[in-house]
């Protein structure tokens, strides 16, 4: 059994995992819940389906661990693999977003000029949005990733990330207004 995993940095865990596969369990334990939540957020699938995707992610991460570039944050690298695997896995079906009320409130508060939340109205707004804008809102406001991390994950410059976040907020407000009528 591997000990003292929690005191090790991601870079240390990667190096140790390349020498001893038991250390890879430390990486899995650290990222399992955040990545499962992220998979569910961007795909809208039940927990069991997210677990299937997560297993596929684990295999890809392990087999490509030697390709990890230590100059970039490991979390960005593993989120990029997770995002790409999730998108590939569910490419043929449009995700139906289903978020917890706490997530909905946090997201809506960042995207709406006037924040009045009802749990059953935000998910339909997200479902109408362009995938790239919905995904970037999830990364920024639910996964709480920095602009730099998002840039690493989606492989776009930080200026593009900032532009997409701004456009995503506007699109969120637009679809909210379309779906629920803009009160003036």
* Tens of pLDDT, residues 82-122: 999 998 887 756 555 555 544 555 666 666 555 444 556 77
pLDDT tier at 79 (50, 70, 90 boundaries)? very high
Q: What is the pLDDT of residue 181?
A: 76
**What distance in Å separates the CA atoms of residue 73 and residue 67, rounded to the nearest whole number?**
13
Together in a domain, 65 and 137: no
Q: Does the residue 95 lie in any domain?
A: no
Q: Does the residue 128 lie in any domain?
A: yes
Residue-number span of the structural domain to which 23 is assigned: 5-89
Q: What is the CATH number of the domain that holds 53?
A: 1.10.1740.10
Q: How high does pLDDT run on average in the chain? A: 84
Q: What is the pLDDT of residue 98?
A: 54
- Final residue in a domain of this structure, among 89, 117, 151: 89
* Count of structural domains, the chain: 2
Together in a domain, 127 and 71: no
Together in a domain, 116 and 83: no
Q: Does the residue 175 lie in any domain?
A: yes
Q: Does the residue 81 lie in any domain?
A: yes
pTM value?
Answer: 0.72
What is the rounded radius of gyration, in angstroms, for the C-alpha atoms of the chain? Answer: 18
Q: What is the pLDDT of residue 35?
A: 96
**What distance in Å separates the CA atoms of residue 177 and residue 121, rounded to the nearest whole number?**
11
Q: What is the pLDDT of residue 115?
A: 47
Compute φ and ψ for 165, nearest 5 degrees: -65, -45
For residues 28 and 8, the answer to whether their CB atoms sit within 8 Å is: no
pLDDT tier at 184 (50, 70, 90 boundaries)? very low
Q: What is the pLDDT of residue 166?
A: 94
Q: Does the residue 111 lie in any domain?
A: yes
Check whether 43 has a pLDDT greater than 60.
yes
């Amino acid at each position: 059994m591997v000990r003292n995993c929690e005191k090790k940095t991601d870079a240390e865990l990667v190096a140790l995992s390349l020498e001893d596969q038991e250390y890879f369990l430390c990486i899995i334990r650290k990222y399992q819940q955040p990545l499962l939540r992220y998979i569910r957020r961007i795909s809208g699938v039940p927990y069991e389906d997210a677990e299937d995707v997560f297993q596929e992610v684990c295999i890809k991460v392990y087999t490509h661990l030697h390709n990890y570039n230590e100059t970039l944050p490991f979390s960005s690298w593993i989120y990029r693999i997770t995002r790409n695997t999730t998108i590939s896995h569910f490419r043929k079906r449009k995700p139906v977003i289903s978020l917890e009320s706490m997530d909905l409130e946090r997201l809506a508060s960042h995207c709406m000029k006037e924040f009045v939340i009802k749990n059953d109205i935000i998910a339909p707004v997200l479902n109408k949005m362009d995938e790239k804008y919905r995904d970037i809102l999830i990364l920024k406001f639910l996964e709480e990733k920095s602009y730099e991390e998002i840039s690493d994950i989606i492989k776009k410059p930080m200026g593009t990330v900032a532009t997409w976040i701004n456009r995503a907020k506007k699109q969120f407000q637009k679809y909210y207004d379309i779906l629920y009528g803009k009160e003036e």
